[in-house]
Amino acid sequence: MVDPNIEALFRPKSVAVIGASEKPGKIGYAIMKNLVEYGYEGKIYPVNIKGVEIRIGNRVFKSYRSILDVPDEVDMAVIVVPAKFVPQVVEEAGKKGVKVLPIISSGFGELGPEGKKVEEELVKTAHKYGMRILGPNIFGVVYTPEKLNATFGPTDVLPGPLALISQSGALGIALMGWTILEKVGLSAVVSVGNKSDIDDADLLEFFREDDNTKAILIYMEGVKDGRRFMEVAKNVSKIKPIVVIKAGRSERGAKAAASHTGSLAGSDKIYDAAFKQAGIIRAYTIEEAFDYARALSNLPEPAGENLVIITNGGGIGVMATDAAEESGLHLYDNLEDLKAFSKYMPPFGSYKNPIDLTGMAGAESYEGAIREALRNPNIHSVAVLYCQTAVLDPRDLAEIVIREYNEAGRNKPMVVAIVGGIEAKHAIDRLNEEGIPAYPEPDRAIKSLAALYRWSRWKAKQRGE
Amino acid sequence: MVDPNIEALFRPKSVAVIGASEKPGKIGYAIMKNLVEYGYEGKIYPVNIKGVEIRIGNRVFKSYRSILDVPDEVDMAVIVVPAKFVPQVVEEAGKKGVKVLPIISSGFGELGPEGKKVEEELVKTAHKYGMRILGPNIFGVVYTPEKLNATFGPTDVLPGPLALISQSGALGIALMGWTILEKVGLSAVVSVGNKSDIDDADLLEFFREDDNTKAILIYMEGVKDGRRFMEVAKNVSKIKPIVVIKAGRSERGAKAAASHTGSLAGSDKIYDAAFKQAGIIRAYTIEEAFDYARALSNLPEPAGENLVIITNGGGIGVMATDAAEESGLHLYDNLEDLKAFSKYMPPFGSYKNPIDLTGMAGAESYEGAIREALRNPNIHSVAVLYCQTAVLDPRDLAEIVIREYNEAGRNKPMVVAIVGGIEAKHAIDRLNEEGIPAYPEPDRAIKSLAALYRWSRWKAKQRGE
């Protein structure tokens, strides 16, 4: 069962912003603005010691001098006041019966042992009143199904099936921007900061049950309670895939991480082994993490090992074949069965997988070949590759892919790679917006599909145990 | 000395297009259009058996029925007629005294032994007249310093210091689009196709002497004369870096490559060893290849091993540190010397390399820190990292970087990584247009800098021999 306080972090019926500001440029204004502009439909109560009026577009909010003055129940109170006022504010929130407290304010555990002590007191106070704390030292929380954007990051988060958790504040906000730019659809963004109370494990437990979340991506530098995290992660991985980027894997990187977060980074080998055991898919770069997450959050699991690669260029077909072999994917090779593809290519094409439709391949070739690959039950996964040529606009190819994939019921995993210029980029964006993982080169498409296979195989192994 | 026929491939005083067409959509039209619209200033002579008129924008070209009718010298004749007419056309070009023949037409060696024989005859004819052949089965040639775009690929190639050679036609055109999208500046693009005559080695010899080219990127599936290629490559690498993407490295990929190009791909281990000996920087993906090429074609060599990383986010600093350690880069660690950076950060920043200016870092912090890093002669290379925050618009950071790098005389290598959304993307594009290698995440920036170090160390070793 999900902790109702954690539930309130994502589905609050009302939100107070303690330290709300009328001044653009202030964090206490940015959070109000994101709440309003992203379309949160619950009640919003700004709290400001001076009782100022706050204007966001056409809406004018009267602010309350204390949360105790709010004439209604408050589920979540976002705290943005300076560190020294936080203890009092937490106490008042407790009296008010608030359920969860994202504390944006910094100046606690990240400064050293003294700040750490204050942090511990905050948690004690919160627990006394049955509240949970997110943070402190965070940029906030987003939950797109509820149109909740209680952060001071970008506004226009793209809704989708991926939950993003970040330990780093600066990087987390930057990653929100990245997802908007790269069309990665998100269910949630959570900044965990100092993890004084709510940590990755608590959030994983929520996302495990959350129907709007299909996969979870975590940027972490270290974990508080390693044993519990791995236990929960393993439990969650059996249902939904988890991708982790963990910085600080080299010796010097680990030292830098320790000085940055104050948390001991721990030996990377131990992390690596624990991740594997817990079914966690590890990514080594930001790009790789989102590449994997795209496939893992959007695609169904493969029913078997037979991959078919469809291409219009020998060169990219070869690159995809390299990537497939290196990442343990099996190219389907029953030539009798594959011969069906010969209908969709000129005589000098090749139906030996990779299926080379040749540079002459137009809309009909691709349509036919994709339909055949999605139809044949002996084929379990599909990679569609395209080198931009004058024969077929990549944007038209994108429409074909979307139509065929929808008509076939999206029942086997498919990835797309389109190499080219601005039209290729638009086609890739369009596919990603439609939840079909698309990439600018074969290698990234194949490796993302391989990540899905890795998770799926791990799951099968768990069932066998 | 450079072969004058190869010279004519890049600096022709006049170009004939044999098989020029008046019909948009035809390759013989696309080449005319690119020649005109990219601004080639030499004479252009369309040759068309029917003597049609060809309109490109405001310009109208009368076409000649045969190249022999052209009332002037022709340095380069681009051949776009169907395969069966090519032998006659080559003969006529020989009589005309043409120097070099890019043969776009396909239908030769790539179809099998019979086509291969015709191809060999073409080369014999060409050599009889002292001509050289590029191709057949190519998309053409670009040389930006002469505003020459004799391809049927994209028009607006961005001028710059990188020469691109592609064995694959479809992929080569797609890569042209990629360079435009990703702001990779090119000196030349050459499609080598079947390599019946001119091959990579001939081109390398030209680029070695070409002042407009600082680095060469080759996409290859196999080489014709491996020994000669490696000899020439080693010779060129001593002066200019060469990046190679070689597809077909896995067993199945090699098989696919063999069936695609007809050329034997050869054992990948042999290639790998030979590349290393020749000082060639190998890339495994398209992205990696252009990442490396950006750094290698734009940056000066480092005078020593001391790298300094400047960041506003602990998280990306840690990721960069990981990448640096993994790719053999040395983080400068003389704290007495690094203390100078403490001026540019708040008290909770860190001048231990990575230099963490903290999330509060604005324009002045970055300006001061970058200037200090470029000024200090004990620092030999610089990586500037930025997580997009509300404090400093990444586009403003880009301007600071450009100004400081120019003022310092661009005398040590510097790479930039900016993580974020659309503003980050614009900042990255702007930096790349200015020839300062910039990337959307630390890993790619550091690994590209490491490629420059690898090449530089190889060179030093050669001098020592």
Q: Inform me whether the C-beta atom of residue A383 falls under 8 Å from chain B C-beta atoms.
A: no
What average pLDDT does the segment B93-110 reach?
96
Question: How far is B350 from chain A, CA to nearest CA, in Å?
Answer: 9
Separation CA B19–CA B32 (nearest Å): 10
Question: How far is A443 from chain B, CA to nearest CA, in Å?
Answer: 7
CA atoms within 13 A on the CB side of B133: 31
Report pLDDT for A5. Answer: 95
Q: Quickly name the fold that domain B300-462 has.
A: Rossmann fold (3.40.50)
Task: Provide, as residue numbers in chain A, all residues whose Cβ is less than 8 Å from the Cβ of B171.
Answer: 313, 315-316, 387, 419
Asked if A72 and A94 count as a contact pair (C-beta separation under 8 A), the reply is: no
Closest Cβ–Cβ partner in B30, B314, B420 for A177: B420
Separation CA A322–CA A305 (nearest Å): 17
Asked if A4 and A66 count as a contact pair (C-beta separation under 8 A), the reply is: no
Separation CA A138–CA A105 (nearest Å): 7
- Residue-wise pLDDT for A181-221, tens only, equals 999 999 999 999 999 999 999 999 999 999 999 999 999 98
Report pLDDT for B326. Answer: 94
- Range with the poorest average pLDDT among A245-259, A351-365, B28-42: A245-259
Residue B252's pLDDT band (cuts 50, 70, 90) = confident
Q: Inform me whether the C-beta atom of residue A174 falls under 8 Å from chain B C-beta atoms.
A: yes
Closest CA to B82 of B22, B137, B148, B24: B137
Residue B255's pLDDT band (cuts 50, 70, 90) = confident
Contact A322 B247 (CB under 8 A): yes
Q: Is the pLDDT of residue A262 over 60?
A: no
Contact A171 B419 (CB under 8 A): yes
Q: Is the pLDDT of residue B224 over 90?
A: no
Asked if B215 and B161 count as a contact pair (C-beta separation under 8 A), the reply is: yes
What average pLDDT does the segment B353-360 reach?
94
Separation CA A24–CA A12 (nearest Å): 25
Q: Is the pLDDT of residue A118 over 60?
A: yes
Report pLDDT for B254. Answer: 77
**Topology alike, domains B4-295 and B300-462:** yes
Contact A315 B180 (CB under 8 A): no
Q: Inform me whether the C-beta atom of residue A394 falls under 8 Å from chain B C-beta atoms.
A: no
Residue B315's pLDDT band (cuts 50, 70, 90) = confident
Across chain A, mean pLDDT equals: 95
Q: Which two tokens stand for residue B445?
A: 């920036």
> In this structure, which long-range contacts are made by residues B88-91, counting pairs with CB atoms below 8 Å and at least 24 apart in sequence?
B89/B18, B89/B19, B90/B122, B90/B125, B90/B126, B90/B131, B90/B133, B91/B125
Closest Cβ–Cβ partner in A259, A424, A441 for B350: A259
Report pLDDT for A256. Answer: 72
CATH 3.40.50.720 holds for A4-295: no
Report pLDDT for B389. Answer: 87
Q: Inform me whether the C-beta atom of residue B356 falls under 8 Å from chain A C-beta atoms.
A: yes
- For B447, which residue in chain A has the nearest alpha carbon? A285
Query: Which of residues 410 through 429 in chain B touch A, CB cutoff 8 A?
Result: 419-425
Domain residue ranges in chain B? 4-295, 300-462
CB atoms within 10 A of CB A166: 26
- Residue-wise pLDDT for A128-151, tens only, equals 999 999 999 999 999 999 999 999
What average pLDDT does the segment B161-174 reach?
94
Quote the ipTM score. Answer: 0.94
What average pLDDT does the segment A282-298 reach?
97
Q: Inform me whether the C-beta atom of residue B114 falls under 8 Å from chain A C-beta atoms.
A: no
Task: Provide, as residue numbers in chain A, all residues whose Cβ is less than 8 Å from the Cβ of B284.
Answer: 443
Contact A250 B321 (CB under 8 A): yes
Task: Provide, as residue numbers in chain B, all residues whose Cβ is less than 8 Å from the Cβ of A285.
Answer: 319, 441, 443-444
pTM: 0.95
Task: Provide, as residue numbers in chain A, all residues whose Cβ is less than 8 Å from the Cβ of B324.
Answer: 250, 252
Indicate which of B194, B288, B319 best probes the interface with A, i.e. most A CBs within 10 Å of its own CB. Answer: B319
Residue A260's pLDDT band (cuts 50, 70, 90) = low
Closest Cβ–Cβ partner in B181, B315, B324 for A421: B181
Q: Inform me whether the C-beta atom of residue A221 falls under 8 Å from chain B C-beta atoms.
A: yes
- For B257, which residue in chain A has the nearest alpha carbon? A318
Contact A171 B316 (CB under 8 A): yes
Contact A175 B256 (CB under 8 A): no
Contact B253 A321 (CB under 8 A): yes
Report pLDDT for A465. Answer: 57
Q: Is the pLDDT of residue B322 over 90?
A: yes
Report pLDDT for A163. Answer: 98
Separation CA B216–CA B243 (nearest Å): 6
What average pLDDT does the segment B295-318 reach?
95
- Residue-wise pLDDT for B13-42, tens only, equals 999 999 999 999 899 999 999 999 999 999
Question: How far is B397 from chain A, CA to nearest CA, in Å?
Answer: 15
Contact B171 A423 (CB under 8 A): no
Separation CA A312–CA A308 (nearest Å): 14
Q: Which residues pair with A162 in a beta bridge?
A: A186, A215
Q: Is the pLDDT of residue B259 over 70?
A: no
Closest CA to A137 of A221, A56, A60: A221
Residue B258's pLDDT band (cuts 50, 70, 90) = low
Q: Inform me whether the C-beta atom of residue A352 falls under 8 Å from chain B C-beta atoms.
A: yes
Question: How far is B65 from chain A, CA to nearest CA, in Å?
Answer: 27
* SS3 state of residue A53: strand
Separation CA A318–CA B260 (nearest Å): 9
Query: Which of residues 241 through 300 in chain B touch A, CB cutoff 8 A?
Result: 247-253, 256-257, 259-261, 284-287
- Residue-wise pLDDT for A24-54, tens only, equals 989 999 999 999 999 999 999 999 999 999 9
Report pLDDT for A4. Answer: 92
- Residue-wise pLDDT for A371-418, tens only, equals 999 999 999 999 999 999 888 999 999 999 999 999 999 999 999 999
Task: Provide, as residue numbers in chain B, all residues whose Cβ is less than 8 Å from the Cβ of A318.
Answer: 221, 247-248, 253, 256-257, 260
Residue whose tokens read 């920036």: B445
Q: Is the pLDDT of residue B398 over 60?
A: yes
- For A171, which residue in chain B has the nearest alpha carbon? B387
- Residue-wise pLDDT for A321-337, tens only, equals 999 999 999 999 999 99
Q: Which two tokens stand for residue A372?
A: 């055949």
Separation CA A273–CA A286 (nearest Å): 21
Instruction: Please report, for residues A213, B74, B100, B143, B438, the alpha-carbon distance to residue B14 in angstroms, rounded to integers and kept in the order given.
Output: 62, 5, 11, 14, 38
H/E element, B289: helix B286-298
Report pLDDT for A166. Answer: 96
Task: Provide, as residue numbers in chain B, all residues whose Cβ is less than 8 Å from the Cβ of A425.
Answer: 181
Residue A259's pLDDT band (cuts 50, 70, 90) = low
- For A323, which residue in chain B has the nearest alpha carbon? B250
Contact B325 A253 (CB under 8 A): yes
**How many contacts does A have with B, using Cβ atoms within 8 A?**
228
Q: Is the pLDDT of residue B235 over 90?
A: yes
- For B172, which residue in chain A has the nearest alpha carbon? A387
Closest Cβ–Cβ partner in A181, A285, A420 for B178: A420
The rounded percent of chain B whose pLDDT value lies above 70 is 97
Residue B465's pLDDT band (cuts 50, 70, 90) = low
